[in-house]
């Protein structure tokens, strides 16, 4: 079960994707695409190696998103981020505070992989 912080991140991602899909001129017409992307993001959050101590994805040393999806999320977040301040100010401020959190040390299983590379 996801903790309080990850549930808030899921909610933030949901609002960012919905905002982008509804108002962005760059958005695709296919609503199912954004539902799939949101499901993918939730799955990645649930499986995060850092758990509740996870850093912001852009600062994370373990990039768990596929490269194409990561780029798409960057586009969505860059567009929706400033607009979130007006529509969801509390979520936006909490996201910005989380963005400032220090990156915790890598979990043990990832340290072993990095040492062998």
Mean pLDDT by 10 residues, the chain (117 residues): 83 95 85 92 89 81 88 93 93 89 79 57
The pTM score is 0.84
**Residue 47's closest CA among 58, 33, 62?**
62
Query: How high is the pLDDT of residue 49?
Result: 83
């Amino acid at each position: 079960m996801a903790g309080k912080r990850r549930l808030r991140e899921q909610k933030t991602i949901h609002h960012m994707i919905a905002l982008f899909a509804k108002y962005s001129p760059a958005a695709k017409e296919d609503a199912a695409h954004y539902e799939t992307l949101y499901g993918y993001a939730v799955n990645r959050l649930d499986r995060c190696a850092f758990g509740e101590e996870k850093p912001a994805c852009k600062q994370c040393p373990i990039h768990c998103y596929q490269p194409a999806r990561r780029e798409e999320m960057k586009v969505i977040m860059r567009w929706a981020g400033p607009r979130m301040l007006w529509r969801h100010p509390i979520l936006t401020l909490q996201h910005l505070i989380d963005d400032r959190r220090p990156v915790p040390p890598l979990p043990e299983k990832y340290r072993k992989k990095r040492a062998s590379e």
